Amino acid sequence: RVLPSVESIKQCLDNNVKMKDIIASLGPYSEDFNAAMFKEYGAKYVVMKDSGVQGGTDEKIRACRILN
């Protein structure tokens, strides 16, 4: 999941990420939404920056714990 910007999409494509595998949206999202998305896409790993409370870091970590 990346920010919905031309730059973000370009970086994904430049790194051989297929368009069908790019989710471009603007959060932050709830723990439940993150868990549902991780489950739907079969995520085995989540790599993220620590964007703090405002960026939804805690919700992403809790979502990972739910699914682990």
Q: What is the mean pLDDT of residues 11-31?
A: 95
Q: Is residue 33 domain-resident?
A: yes
Nearest-angstrom CA–CA distance, 67 and 35: 7
Q: Is the residue at 1 inside a domain? A: no
Q: What's the pLDDT tens digit per position in 40-65?
A: 999 999 999 888 888 899 999 999 99
Render the burial of 44-60: b for 16+ CB within 10 Å, e for the rest.
eeeeeeeeeeeebeebb
Q: How many domains does the chain have?
A: 1
Domain membership flag for residue 36: yes
Q: Which domain holds residue 56?
A: 6-67
The larger pLDDT score, comparing residue 30 to residue 51, is at: 30
- Tell me whether residue 20 is exposed, middle or buried, using C-beta atoms within 10 angstroms of its C-beta: 0 to 12, 13 to 18, 19 or more: exposed
Residue 39 placed within a domain: yes
